[in-house]
Structure 1
Amino acid sequence: MATPKIDVQVISSGILPEDVLALGESVIKQAKIPVQQPLSLQFGSARQTVSIVSVSRYDGMRISQSLAGKWGLHSGARLRLQYRSGSRTLALGPLIGVLVSRDYIDQPDKPFGSITMFCRELTDTCRSQGAYVYFFTPSAIHSDLRSVEGWVWGGGSWYRTTLPAPDVVNNRLTSRKLENRPIVQQFFREIKQRYGAVVFNEKFLDKSEVFEALAGDTSLQRYLPESHTLRNYTMLKSMCARYPVVFLKPVRGSLGKGIIRLSRQGTEGWLASFTTVGGTRRATYPNLLKFFSAISGKMKTVRYLVQQGLTLIESSGRPVDFRALAQKNGSGAWVVTSIVGRTAGSQHYVSNLARGGTLAGVRDSVAKSNLPQMFRGSAYARLKRAALDIAKGVDTRIPAHFGELGIDLALDTGGRVWLLEVNSKPSKNDNTPLNEGKIRPSVRMMIQYARYLSGF
């Protein structure tokens, strides 16, 4: 179905009535749009009955100022247009809403803080691909669930305006508390049921949920370190009997927060290394029961995953792991957009950038590591294969819609690939390709997938 890209021109309502849309003659022919007949004009959740008039030697769209104002459209926007003859609907779009955790109304030059440049990348990509994007927070959702107060880039600046509910929502909320707010969940349900909208990256993933789901797929078990939800001392004792090192990871943790590395020290003792903002805090315990008693109070509020310790490759004594960004493309298929190596900071054993980790390409990370030479040439291909397998497994086995996943992988000194974690809200810093141009491939891919979902 033809979806030509058209430039939007906003015309004074005294010249062009709200119920008239002026289209270039070539656009009308290409999309086979009937003229001077009542049609339903659709933009996200918004509907308006209009008649079409043809403009010769013109290939754009003219819309009245009053209608453009209601819908949050501005001159210079570029959209796709699709005529659906069965319903006599002329659809404009896709309209993409990106749900973010917070905005800063008093900083109009940087309304989204550290992710403002990412948001600009999205607006530039949408303009080149023929899509319209806005950014909104949970508090910007109107009580009728049909519209929002969103941020739009137009005329060289950011501004807030009222917009219809979108065709596609990319959920980039970074807090479970925000995501679980009733207005957010009601909005998701309403726009899906009433308007056929699609929400991707619908929810956070818990570590235990991921490992338990993937363990049910025999083809993925080779990537999974032994992992269990820590319920009691018997479970901890059993894991520590099998492995000289185990990790305790908060089931709902992120950015390496709260991870404990537990290793044998002597015949009876144990060394616990706790991640903190300032570095690693270490404590020794004469036996395992003493350690368990020390953390049992914490276990009343924090659920832990206890996981087999791995002998990861290192660079200058610092652990190295890899972040793969898997995304769905313009055909709805999973692809790996980027893989970067991450080396832990000098005071940490986790590699997150927030903990002082550094990025490098896979080849450089492997070359500087203690990975045996025989495994180096195939490292990238095996990491990519694992990321694709795991993304498909999460998509198949966990009941939610995902469009992109940050997949943390590791190589051990025997060349085996292991899964560390899957993140459904991957940071736009952690997975940045090091040889990026102005617009990252990951941003282009996100818009292509949104177009696929919306039929534009």
Structure 2
Amino acid sequence: MSTPKIDVQVISSGILSEDVLMLGESVIKQAKIPVQQQLQLQFGSLRQSVTVVSVPRYDGLRIGHSLARRMGVSSGTPLRLQYRSASRSLALGPLIGVLVSRDYPDQPDKPFGAITMFCHELVDTCRAQGAFVYFFTPSGIQESLRSVRGWVLGSGGWRQSDFPAPDVVNNRLTSRKLENRPIVQQFVSEIKYRYGAIVFNEKFLDKSEVFEALKNDSSVLRYLPESHSLRNFTTLKSMCSRYSVVFLKPVRGSLGKGIIRLNRFGSEGWQASFTTVNGTRKATYPNLLKFFSVISGKMKTVRYLIQQGLALIDSGGRPIDFRALTQKNASGKWVVTSIVGRIAGNQHYVSNLARGGTLATVREAVARSNLPSTYRGEATSRLTRAALDISRGIDTHIQAHFGELGIDLAIDTSGRVWLLEVNSKPSKNDNTPLNEGKIRPSVRTMIQYARYLSGF
């Protein structure tokens, strides 16, 4: 399907009315657009009856100022164009909306805090690929659910404007509370139903949901440590009878918060290690029942997943794990964009950067580890295969649309790969160092996937 990339030129409304588009003759021929006939212009949720006028020796698009204002675009904006003969519609786009948790209007140079540079990369990538992106928060959603107050980056810096609802939404909300707000849920439902919009990474995943779902996938079972929802003492006792080390993980936790490592201590006792901001706090208990009595109060508000402990590779006693970023590409297929090793900080048994962990390449992490040399050459390929198998498993067994996943993996001392966690909102600060002026492959892939979804 031909989708030529063109530059928009905005003309005074006194010269060009809202219902006339002036389009280069070569573009008209390439996209097979009928001229001097009434067509329907589509730009996200915007619908406008228009007539196309041919302009010789010109390869752009001229639109009136009032239409440009309704679209939220300015002169020089590159867009792709597609004529859909079945509906006699002329589509411009793709219009991509990135839903973020918060903005900072009083900081015009950094309106999205720590992810502003990531947003800048998205803008640059869209301009290169002929897409249009804006950024909005839940408070920017208009009551009509047909338009959005959002941010764009222009020649004069970041500015706010009103935009039609987008063709594709990348949900980057970082809290369930925001995601579950009625206005967000209504907006998503409305634009899907009324305009055929597509939302990806539309929900958070919790740990129990992931492991329960993947148990049904034979190609993924090999990566799954034994895991159960911790609902009573019987489950705790059963797991601790089989494994000398178990982990209790908050089902909805992130950044390693609230994880408890429980291991045998002496003949009868158990030692619990609790993650804290300052390191690990340890406590010993004469028996399992005593430990359970301590955490049972927490279980009224925190749901735990109990998981078998693994003999993971480490570097001088500092555990090592790996974060794979998987994405759907321009063909809608899962690919591995990057894998990085994460080495836990001193006094920590979780590797998150927020807990003092450090990044390394897979090769560096493996070279610094106690993994036997016979398994080192296969580490990257095994991690890659696991990440792709797990991504496809999530797609198959969980009823939600994902275009990007952060998959935390580990390798044990026998070279076996294990799944630790799947994150549907992978951080744009942690995974790879961010250098101003450079565009990460993950950003390009994200926009290619948005084009694939929208048909541009």
Give the alignment's TM-score, normalised by structure 1.
0.98
Matches within 5 A, 1:57-96: 57-96=57-96
Deviation at 1:36, TM superposition (A): 1.5
The match for 2:182 is 182
The letter for the 2-side match of 1:99 is L
State whether structure 2 residue 40 is matched by structure 1 residue 43: no
Q: Could you tell me whether the CA contact under 8 Å between 2:325 and 2:407 is conserved in 1?
A: yes
The match for 2:52 is 52
Deviation at 1:336, TM superposition (A): 0.5
Moved more, 21-30 or 159-168: 21-30
Deviation at 1:164, TM superposition (A): 0.4
Secondary structure of the residue aligned to 2:389 is helix
The match for 1:254 is 254
The letter for the 1-side match of 2:169 is V
The letter for the 2-side match of 1:423 is N
Distance 1:115 1:99 in 2: 12
Matches within 5 A, 1:363-402: 363-402=363-402
State whether structure 2 residue 187 is matched by structure 1 residue 209: no
Distance 1:308 1:380 in 2: 24
Matches within 5 A, 1:36-435: 36-432=36-432
C-alpha offsets along residues 175-203 of structure 1, whole Å, 9 cap, x if unaligned?
00000011111111100010000000110
Superposed structure 1 runs of 4+ greater than 6 Å apart: 433-437
Distance 2:340 2:419 in 1: 15
C-alpha offsets along residues 289-321 of structure 1, whole Å, 9 cap, x if unaligned?
111111111000000000000111001210000
Deviation at 1:435, TM superposition (A): 9.6
Q: Could you tell me whether the CA contact under 8 Å between 2:114 and 2:429 is conserved in 1?
A: no
The match for 1:450 is 450
Deviation at 1:135, TM superposition (A): 0.5
Distance 1:62 1:355 in 2: 53
Q: Could you tell me whether the CA contact under 8 Å between 2:382 and 2:417 is conserved in 1?
A: yes
Deviation at 1:156, TM superposition (A): 3.8
Deviation at 1:347, TM superposition (A): 2.6
| 195 and 434 in structure 1: CA distance in 2 versus 1, 3 angstrom threshold | closer
C-alpha offsets along residues 56-110 of structure 1, whole Å, 9 cap, x if unaligned?
2211111111111111111121110000111110000000000000000111110
Deviation at 1:147, TM superposition (A): 0.5
C-alpha offsets along residues 257-293 of structure 1, whole Å, 9 cap, x if unaligned?
1000001110111111111122111111111111111
Moved more, 409-418 or 425-434: 425-434
C-alpha offsets along residues 227-271 of structure 1, whole Å, 9 cap, x if unaligned?
000000110011011101000000001111100000111011111
The match for 1:441 is 441
Moved more, 234-243 or 49-58: 49-58
Give the alignment's TM-score, normalised by structure 2.
0.98
Secondary structure of the residue aligned to 1:380 is helix
Distance 1:293 1:352 in 2: 29
C-alpha offsets along residues 390-433 of structure 1, whole Å, 9 cap, x if unaligned?
00000000000010100000000110000000000001122226
Matches within 5 A, 1:12-51: 12-51=12-51
C-alpha offsets along residues 17-38 of structure 1, whole Å, 9 cap, x if unaligned?
1111111111111111111211
Q: Could you tell me whether the CA contact under 8 Å between 1:360 and 1:434 is conserved in 2?
A: no
Structure 2: 5+ residue stretches without partners: none
Q: Could you tell me whether the CA contact under 8 Å between 2:117 and 2:436 is conserved in 1?
A: no
Secondary structure of the residue aligned to 1:235 is helix
Distance 1:418 1:68 in 2: 52
| 29 and 180 in structure 1: CA distance in 2 versus 1, 3 angstrom threshold | same
Deviation at 1:436, TM superposition (A): 10
Distance 1:355 1:69 in 2: 46
Distance 2:221 2:432 in 1: 29
| 436 and 271 in structure 1: CA distance in 2 versus 1, 3 angstrom threshold | farther
Q: Equivalent pairs: percent with the same residue?
A: 80
Cα-Cα RMSD: 1.2
The letter for the 1-side match of 2:74 is H
Q: Could you tell me whether the CA contact under 8 Å between 1:361 and 1:434 is conserved in 2?
A: no
The letter for the 2-side match of 1:63 is I
The match for 2:11 is 11
Distance 1:437 1:13 in 2: 37
The letter for the 1-side match of 2:214 is L
Distance 2:445 2:305 in 1: 33
